[in-house]
Structures are given as structure tokens and as C-alpha cells.
């Protein structure tokens, strides 16, 4: 019992320590602030992109566990973001990672066993309103089943289909990679369940070693970036910067302080590249400069001319 108490106190001190560190800095690769200081700068950034190019051709900033704003009693291990979903989208995020627990034929947003106090329908409504206000944009949304299902009379995929049935043209649900012209003002579904008929998770070039040491994670991230730069634009790439090491008291927040900086350093080296394409870069607590650098990769060639 004494050992457990010591562990809990150490975890709490780690959370407090990284919070104080962020108050002194942050905003470049990492942020703990409740709202972006450049909230509307990239709300319409996709308006500058050509219609004819495949969506997989672009570099898109994304968030891991996009609605994980509430920590519960996890001592920092459940919280992955500080910005609300609508603010993430306004700040330029275009890939969101949505985790749904299937309870009594409803989809509730969870991170592990921690209730995030919102629902899939509320997430959908935030996305729909954003796209209504910013029709040049699109949102890539991965959907994954989370935690333990409870009290259902139908399958997850049936509940999901019911949730989007009346959404008209809001959703792009297809295994084929679309050109941007086909998905402006729409949500592109990425299927992590296996039965939702969207872009298939297993067909994506993926790096998501969430439990790697920071040294190994840095190597994996850089290797995946290099692979994306040297692969056909038709191929989807997703590179997760996020991770956690519970045994080392390395919360998502502490992990992101280091891993996001690795991504930012790599991006800074690409400024002179004529046509860099890194795919989707998924982050916890992304800072404004990191988002900006990812977005601006899509326009490096324009600047060179």
C-alpha cells in the first residue's frame, strides 16, 4: 500500500511539473494552453490547395485521441489534448482520431476506460458546423471502438450507420482515395473497426508505436517521414508522434514535450525541399508552430516559384 501511495504521488508531481514547464514555454511544438493563440489563422488553409490532387498527396496535421480532454483519475494518462475539437479544427487540424464506446446502442466518446463526456453525435455536429462555416475544408476522421461494449441490441457498425444515416452528403464513405474536389465540406471516414466501409486502416502505411522509448520513437518517426517523402503520392501515410510509458511515469503530455520536438526539428529541415509530402502527422498537445509547419509543407513549391 505504501508503494502504491508513493507511485501515485510521483505521478501527480510529474503532471504538475510538466504543467509548470509548459507555462514557461510551449506554443512551438507543444502546448498546454486551453486555446490556440492563433486560433483562426488556418481555419481555411485548404482553400489554397488544387482540387484535382488526391487527398493522400497532402500533409495534414492531426490529433491523437482528439476528444481526450478529461483525465478522470488517471493521473495524466488519459488526457491527450487541451483544445476543444472545434478549436483544433479552427487552428488547422484536419485529421481527428475518434474513439467510441458502444453503450445501449449509443456511441460515447472514451479514452480507454475514461469517459470524455461527449458523444459521437456531438462530435459529428461540431464537424458539420465547422464545415458549414468553412466549405473549402475537409476533415479526415478515423473511428475506432474503445473500451467494453455494454447493453447493446445491435452491432457497432449498425449503430454507426444509424448515427450518420440522415447526414446526406456530409460523409465520404469509400475505400477509394478521393481527389480534394470530391470531399470539400465533407468528412472522410477512416475505418478502424473493420466493418464501416471507409478507408481501411490496414491499407495505410502506419507508424504508431505508442509504447516505444523516446529514443526508439524518434528513430521510427524519422524513418516514416523519410519513407513518405520517397513513396507514391497515392499511398496514405500516418505517423503518430503520440505515446506513453506508464512504468516511467511518462504521461502523454510528458511524452509529447519530446516527441513533438522531434517532428518539428525534422520539419524545419524540409523548408528547402521542392515538394515534400509527409502524409498525416498525429499529435498530442500540438503547438502552433508545429501545426503551421505541417500546413505550409503543402505550399513550399509555390513559395519556391
Cα–Cα distance list, 63 to 51, 260, 286 (Å):
24, 12, 8
Residue with cell 514557461: 24
Per-residue pLDDT band at 270 (split at 50, 70, 90): confident
Domain boundaries, the chain: 2-304
Taking residues 215-244, report their average pLDDT.
96
Residue with the larger pLDDT of the pair 279 and 6: 279
**Neighbouring C-beta atoms of residue 239, cutoff 10 Å:** 25
Q: Give the CA angle between residues 253, 258, 259 to the nearest 5°.
A: 90
Per-residue pLDDT band at 271 (split at 50, 70, 90): low
Predicted local distance difference test score (pLDDT) of residue 38: 62
Q: Is 118 exposed, middle or buried (0-12, 13-18, 19+ CB in 10 A)?
A: middle
**Reported pTM:** 0.91
Per-residue pLDDT band at 40 (split at 50, 70, 90): confident
Asked if the model's pLDDT at residue 220 lies above 50, the reply is yes
Per-residue pLDDT band at 74 (split at 50, 70, 90): very high
Residue with the larger pLDDT of the pair 37 and 270: 270
Per-residue pLDDT band at 7 (split at 50, 70, 90): very low
| Residues 143, 148, 151, 153, Cα dihedral to 10° | 40
Asked if the model's pLDDT at residue 273 lies above 70, the reply is no
Asked if the model's pLDDT at residue 6 lies above 70, the reply is no
**CATH code for the part of the protein at 2-304:** 3.20.20.190
CB crowding 262-298: b at 16 or more within 10 Å, else e: bbbebbeebeeeeebbbbbbbbbbbbbbbbbbbbbbb
Predicted local distance difference test score (pLDDT) of residue 29: 76
Predicted confidence (pLDDT) per residue in 124-167, tens digit: 999 999 999 999 999 999 999 999 999 999 999 999 999 999 99
Amino acid at each position: 500500500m505504501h508503494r502504491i501511495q508513493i507511485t501515485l504521488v510521483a505521478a501527480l508531481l510529474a503532471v504538475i511539473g510538466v504543467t509548470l514547464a509548459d507555462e514557461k514555454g510551449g506554443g512551438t511544438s507543444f502546448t498546454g494552453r486551453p486555446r490556440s493563440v492563433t486560433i483562426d489563422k488556418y481555419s481555411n488553409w485548404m482553400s489554397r490547395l488544387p482540387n484535382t490532387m488526391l487527398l493522400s498527396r497532402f500533409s495534414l496535421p492531426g490529433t491523437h485521441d482528439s476528444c481526450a480532454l478529461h483525465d478522470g483519475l488517471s493521473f495524466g494518462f488519459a488526457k491527450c489534448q487541451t483544445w476543444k475539437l472545434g478549436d483544433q479544427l479552427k487552428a488547422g487540424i484536419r485529421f481527428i482520431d475518434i474513439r467510441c464506446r458502444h453503450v445501449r446502442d449509443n456511441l460515447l466518446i472514451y479514452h480507454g476506460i475514461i469517459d470524455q463526456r461527449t458523444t459521437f453525435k456531438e462530435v459529428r455536429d461540431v464537424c458539420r458546423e465547422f464545415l458549414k462555416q468553412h466549405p473549402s475544408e475537409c476533415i479526415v476522421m478515423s473511428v475506432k471502438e474503445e473500451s467494453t461494449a455494454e447493453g447493446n441490441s445491435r452491432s457497432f457498425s449498425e449503430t454507426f450507420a444509424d448515427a450518420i444515416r440522415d447526414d446526406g452528403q456530409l460523409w465520404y464513405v469509400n475505400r477509394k482515395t478521393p481527389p480534394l474536389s470530391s470531399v470539400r465540406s465533407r468528412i472522410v471516414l477512416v475505418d478502424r473497426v473493420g466493418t464501416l466501409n471507409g478507408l481501411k486502416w490496414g491499407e495505410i502505411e502506419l507508424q504508431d508505436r505508442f509504447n516505444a522509448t523516446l529514443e526508439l520513437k524518434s528513430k521510427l518517426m524519422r524513418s516514416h517521414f523519410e519513407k513518405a517523402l520517397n513513396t507514391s503520392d497515392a499511398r496514405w501515410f500516418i505517423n503518430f508522434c503520440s505515446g506513453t510509458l506508464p512504468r516511467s511515469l511518462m504521461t502523454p503530455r510528458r511524452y509529447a514535450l519530446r516527441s513533438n520536438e522531434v517532428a518539428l526539428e525534422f520539419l524545419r529541415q524540409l523548408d528547402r525541399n521542392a515538394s515534400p509530402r509527409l502524409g498525416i502527422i498525429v499529435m498530442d498537445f500540438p503547438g502552433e508552430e508545429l501545426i503551421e509547419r505541417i500546413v505550409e509543407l503543402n505550399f513550399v513549391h509555390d513559395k519556391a516559384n
